[in-house]
Amino acid sequence: MIIVNIVRAAAVAIAALSGSVARNIWQTYQLSNQEKPQLRLELPKEITKVDDALTKLKSMKRKELVQLYMSCDAPNDLSLIYGRWNGTLLENNGWIMTSVSNLITYYFFGIGDRRWNGKTFAEDSTGWNRFKTKDGKIELVHKIDLSLGPSGITDKYAALAQYASYQSFFSPWQTMVDELRVLKLDYVDGEILICMGYMGWSGGILNASPFCLHRMK
């Protein structure tokens, strides 16, 4: 009886996860094929501080975040985003997918007691993911190549952080890509990048998870 209940619970969990993935994919597909002015989304102009913008971003749903991302542009030059950025995960279409994103990013991606903390981009257009250990030490893990290229969601460009060159063929991160665009407002104290992260084996760009990178001046 216990085994049967475990199997049933696992089946329910798999069905719920599959349904949530399908919802993400369909939502992104619809938005990417209906790029119209009325679908553009911007933050209120009165938001001029990074912390206020982060509060607003954390309150937004995935659909709104995808729309916001589609309304933003790539940096004019990669040199504009060189340096250290803090990272924040955003809502991913409900409790299930948000929890999955948090689990993968904060626990599996970092391995051990390291918690994902953001990214660092170097002047040679490479970068690293930043992780904070329990004792507060910052470690750089999972190197990336940074380039400008077409987004998978729209024809517009994005800054692309790609992992393939530094991961083995069997690594779950081998197909990972993060797309980054500039959230343009007149921030008086810092900068924000609105981002979409995805892996080829889990639905690709259509199942991308929203997050943002931010830093103070």
What's the mean pLDDT in 85-114?
Answer: 89
- 47-56, 111-120, 141-150: segment of lowest average pLDDT: 111-120
Provide mean pLDDT across the span 16-23. 73
Alpha helices for 75-124 (secondary structure H): 95-103
Tokens of 72: 């933003």
pLDDT of residue 154: 83
- Residue 58 vs residues 51, 117, 128, 151, 210: alpha-carbon distances, Å: 11, 16, 24, 23, 10
Question: Following CA atoms 75, 80, 82, 84 in sequence, which dihedral angle do they give, to the nearest 10 degrees?
Answer: -90
pLDDT bracket for residue 202 (50, 70, 90): confident
Q: What is the mean pLDDT of residues 191-200?
A: 96
DSSP-derived secondary structure letter, 108 = I
Identify the CA nearest to 121 among candidates 90, 171, 81, 151.
Answer: 81
Q: Measure the CA–CA gap between 9 and 16, rounded to whole angstroms.
A: 11
